[in-house]
């Protein structure tokens, strides 16, 4: 599904959802139409917890291994500016979103944490909330926001690549 080119009017090149967007769209379709066509999508809670923990561990290990070698050199050679920019880009939207969600929509803390982790597609943040809460409400809010966020990331990246190609 991720390799199928999608043609949009006004965009000269087809857009592909890729390795992240394709399986995400298929998962959304199976969750919506699976019961109608007798597709069993049930997994036990222990299997879900095991896959969640293994996935988070592998993700964090791969990020750590790929970044660790040049980390100190990057910071010494001006990377501290980019760390500051990243901090501002991350914290300001989260503070605004947290304020709006808490004060205007009156959501509870764990729903708000899952929502913000999903909006950032931040699996480690979800893992921290999993440790703090016994209920699954944070996972539900994470899973509600995550697909749209991931789809928009893939889609906007594709549009950006096509736009850059046109400008050149």
pLDDT at 49: 84
Tokens of 155: 């889609």
Kindly report, residue by residue over 53-100, the tens digit of the pLDDT: 898 888 888 877 877 777 788 888 888 888 899 899 888 988 998 899
pLDDT at 131: 87
Tokens 């923990």 correspond to: 53
| Three-class secondary structure of residue 9 per DSSP | coil
* pLDDT at position 28 over 80: yes
- Distance, in Å, from the CA atom of 118 to the CA atom of 121, rounded to the nearest integer, reads 5
pLDDT at 153: 83
Structural element, H or E, at residue 149: helix 137-167
pLDDT at 62: 82
pLDDT at 103: 92
Count CB-CB contacts under 10 A for residue 37: 7
Residue 89's Cβ-side half-sphere holds a number of Cα atoms within 13 Å equal to 7
Count CB-CB contacts under 10 A for residue 101: 19
Kindly report, residue by residue over 107-136, the tens digit of the pLDDT: 989 999 999 998 888 888 888 888 888 888
Find the mean pLDDT for residues 137-165: 85
* Angle made by CA atoms 109, 48, 31, in degrees to the nearest 5: 85
- Predicted TM-score of the model (pTM): 0.54
Count CB-CB contacts under 10 A for residue 87: 10
Contact assessment for residue 40 and residue 21, using Cβ atoms and an 8 Å cutoff:
no
Q: Structural domain boundaries of the chain? A: 18-62+79-167
pLDDT at 59: 82
pLDDT at 96: 92
Report phi then psi at 7, rounded to 5. Answer: -105, 125
pLDDT at 99: 92
- Of residues 106 and 136, which shows the higher confidence score? 106
């Amino acid at each position: 599904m991720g390799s199928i080119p999608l043609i949009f009017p006004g965009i000269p090149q087809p857009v592909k959802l890729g390795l992240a967007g394709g399986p995400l769209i298929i998962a959304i379709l199976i969750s919506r139409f699976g019961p109608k066509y007798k597709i069993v999508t049930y997994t036990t809670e222990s299997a879900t917890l095991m896959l969640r923990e293994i996935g988070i561990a592998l993700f964090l290990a791969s990020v750590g291994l790929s970044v660790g070698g040049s980390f100190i050199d990057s910071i010494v050679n001006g990377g501290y500016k980019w760390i500051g920019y990243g901090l501002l880009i991350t914290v300001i939207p989260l503070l605004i979103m947290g304020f709006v969600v808490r004060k205007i929509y009156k959501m509870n803390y764990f729903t708000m944490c899952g929502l913000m982790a999903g909006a950032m597609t931040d699996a480690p943040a979800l893992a921290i909330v999993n440790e703090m809460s016994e209920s699954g409400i944070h996972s539900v809010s994470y899973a509600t926001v995550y697909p749209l966020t991931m789809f928009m990331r893939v889609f906007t990246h594709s549009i950006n690549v096509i736009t850059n190609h046109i400008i050149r």
